[in-house]
Structure 1
């Protein structure tokens, strides 16, 4: 093994993936037929979520060594990541026929799930768990299946036990320096609750804080930076202390991440629902935005069309602003952009006649955004944290869902137990059809006075 390859492998082991890719590139320039360099370059690229390049690297390794099992498995996994389950399925069926390992069965289950075959997917995940009851990825995906089907109790329990069970999931893995709370009595004890996933997940999870605070002698809630002012408006029987990530963590007896609360509280279809808003924006922000929007003759409609580009499923959730052009000329409405940093082609579309006013870019933090949402008549958004913010505030919100909606929106239905003021508009693979339907509904909303 050359010194150059050793250095590249050391960088990969150290999780310096960007430097590792550059080092493997240097090795390949001098030894283009070195299988290990191509394969491990693919591994580094996969960690960087440069999935197209990773797929190419694994395919190059297989061209050089067709029997390279790890490259073959990673190639199939990349096909799944890239939304090509049909291409992956044939290879995965062959792999399971050759050796029905837990990994192979789980990957085949993922392909079946992506192809819209939930029963087949469930069977594969259960077969994987029969072979390895501790297989985290199979258990995680079975949890997501349960949740998508509204099997809340079973799903939340699996979700908690397997979390975080998916490659590249953007979650916090901090050591909290205190025991975990597992649902036992909190009488006379203190607890730290903390957000550990995305901002939308935290907003959704805030509904469970009051039930824990009711049991504990003292409750500290840690949320993402900027969310503190809204979290402090939570209605709880006992006062809670709210801090933001980066603040010093106070000593408590136990801790629990927000994602675990449904399982540890025994949540079901009844307890996940909320009757009304549970976060409130500062009144002065609402008044200021109402003053700035001014024209009471129009219905003010907030639009958000892109979420976090690093989200693993962003290609199924976000859309180009150009697709929303049919909404630009709905008489009696004024569109307001809620996007903070529009880029690329969206910027050009925002300059068109009837396009949303670029108001969202002027907001000063999350509490200000909440004030703006409170001043609007309606929010229309793809699946982003803004959907959760509007829902948690009890504001009318229409959520546009792609072909692979998140588990919380279930498989079907126009309403959701999570947010009673939300409507779901589902895509069957055609965003244009969804937007056309939204246009008709928006015209009715404006004409009917909301």
Structure 2
């Protein structure tokens, strides 16, 4: 099923069952199917020419991200000797990229070429995406330890197979023999192996990045894992990799999120405050509280929490653009890559920070899904829209989208707001004008729910019933245009009963297609989806219908937002009760009619 996970079925099923076993003590999950395989068999059946189709990120996105991770966070290792220990015998691409980034003494090896290194020692060993491919974990650790200097470090990534019981995640999602996944570790199995070889195991973040140290640690390790931390604090730091693996935290966190979704954000923050009193080093709790603080409008406090989350992490970039205009000479002509690490709406919302960079002469590249490229190519302040993983090197910073507010030390009073910062091309606008019926009435684009029919849980509470929304409009004064995709049959039946509601006949294949359609509107009315972010970025007047569970972007109070100048907010006071905001919307539409 590896190629299914990669996006589509590429090769037919071989019809050979592959059995995995899980240790009842440590959770280590493995298959014995490949124990007798030779390197030639792995090359023929797994690491062949088709391998890239099963794991396309291996050679592009992950490779570049790993080089960035090391160059940004571990410059101290660059002068030393480095060994790249890989499991997939394809090429030396990682070594070449590292050398291009300034890491000089780099050697590559794998299970086959390991014997040729006998007697050699290295300051740093990199084993990214290697452990899950190796059928003999103890042999692998023995090889790595034998090659490591007494004060060296092994930096590695590992897809852990331990998840909380009844979690939606499962180690079954990692059982991919076609990918060569034969050894799936847990935190416990890694700890056992580390102990056997007199190594200490540390984790850098909440995902899959780890370090192994001999007793004589390298000097740089102290900035991430200081020896002067009290024992209890150090243990808490070690246990921060998967917060939901602590079952005692799972329910209180869910209770806080439910409380916030019901509109009681201050109470939800207090729940997390209490949890943090007992677990002050838990980074995920800090992030959850930071998002809720952002929703409450306490942006400075929110960024403090988020800074703690990223402290000692691979993506900490707090304050790097502080006092940007006063430091313009440092940035002029430099390249900054904004990385889309979130959904469509968040990218449309936060990409605005690129305007501030452009104003001081920075060349801005946005690394994102191709569906954005034509829209971003219209923006004069964006130098280039690049595919994920396909960015030029060198760059000054490659900064994840959600780090931008912290990078600028944003406060409520300094939120960057522009009349508009994106625009559809004249060709796209003309395309849609030709497909919309002529009208002398006010034209309104409407969107009332996520286009994903499978949306459920708290997120579904942001949607509203189409009939209720339509009740706010006067058909004599408004023509409504449906600007969302994937209508269901019931919605089409409702629309067919109203000649003043139109479904566009054109095709929407990218974000700029939607931008062109919205640009033909006098007004946009929408619930909390990507639509209001796009209309707001285009500078189109927008009325936004907000449930109590709306995104933290919109905060909890006020009829306007500091993020978009032409937007008005209509809020629920009770979760699920749309009648008051719809009544408010009806009044605002009458006022809009008088003004237009």
CA distance change for structure 1 residues 286 and 104 in 2, over 3 Å: closer, same or farther?
A: closer
1:43 maps onto 2:167 in alignment: yes
Paired residues for 1:4-153 under 5 Å? 42-44=166-168, 105-153=252-300
Note the alpha carbon deviations across 1:17-50, whole angstroms, 9 max, x for none: xxxxxxxxxxxxxxxxxxxxxx9883348999xx
Paired residues for 1:36-435 under 5 Å? 42-44=166-168, 105-159=252-306, 161-162=308-309, 181-184=317-320, 187=331, 189-213=334-358, 218-236=363-381, 240-245=383-388, 248-253=390-395, 254-293=397-436, 295-307=438-450, 309=452, 310=455, 313-327=458-472, 329-354=474-499, 356-359=501-504, 362-428=507-573, 429-435=576-582
Distance 1:12 1:100 in 2: 20
- More displaced, 357-366 or 253-262? 357-366
Contact map agreement 1:12 1:44 (CA 8 A) in 2: no
CA distance change for structure 1 residues 367 and 160 in 2, over 3 Å: closer, same or farther?
A: farther
Contact map agreement 2:451 2:486 (CA 8 A) in 1: no
Deviation for aligned residue 1:351: 2.0
Contact map agreement 1:181 1:255 (CA 8 A) in 2: no
Note the alpha carbon deviations across 1:62-91, whole angstroms, 9 max, x for none: xxxxxxxxxxxxxxxxxxxxxxxxxxxxxx
Distance 1:105 1:319 in 2: 29
Deviation for aligned residue 1:243: 1.5
Note the alpha carbon deviations across 1:101-157, whole angstroms, 9 max, x for none: 655654443454345444433232122222222323421221122112211122134
Contact map agreement 1:325 1:355 (CA 8 A) in 2: no
Deviation for aligned residue 1:182: 4.6
Contact map agreement 2:445 2:518 (CA 8 A) in 1: yes
Distance 1:295 1:248 in 2: 43
CA distance change for structure 1 residues 136 and 294 in 2, over 3 Å: closer, same or farther?
A: same
Equivalent residue number for residue 29 of structure 1: none
SS of 2:414's equivalent? coil
Cα RMSD over matched residues? 3.8
Distance 1:346 1:339 in 2: 12
Equivalent residue number for residue 80 of structure 1: none
Distance 1:270 1:116 in 2: 24
More strand as a share of residues: 2
Contact map agreement 2:432 2:506 (CA 8 A) in 1: no
**Gapped runs of 5+ residues in structure 2?**
1-18, 31-162, 173-245, 322-329
Q: Quick check: which has more Rg, 1 or 2?
A: 2
- More displaced, 286-295 or 392-401? 286-295
Q: TM-score, normalised by structure 2?
A: 0.53
Deviation for aligned residue 1:422: 0.6
Deviation for aligned residue 1:357: 1.0
CA distance change for structure 1 residues 437 and 340 in 2, over 3 Å: closer, same or farther?
A: same
Deviation for aligned residue 1:290: 3.1
CA distance change for structure 1 residues 444 and 190 in 2, over 3 Å: closer, same or farther?
A: closer
Distance 1:41 1:104 in 2: 13
Contact map agreement 1:340 1:361 (CA 8 A) in 2: no
SS of 1:362's equivalent? coil
1:439 maps onto 2:586 in alignment: yes
SS of 2:545's equivalent? strand
More helix as a share of residues: 1
Deviation for aligned residue 1:311: 7.4
**Gapped runs of 5+ residues in structure 1?**
15-38, 49-98, 164-174
Distance 1:403 1:13 in 2: 43
Contact map agreement 2:547 2:572 (CA 8 A) in 1: yes
Distance 1:396 1:141 in 2: 32
Deviation for aligned residue 1:364: 4.3
Contact map agreement 2:294 2:302 (CA 8 A) in 1: yes
Q: TM-score, normalised by structure 1?
A: 0.68
Distance 2:171 2:443 in 1: 42
Contact map agreement 1:146 1:155 (CA 8 A) in 2: yes
Deviation for aligned residue 1:358: 1.0
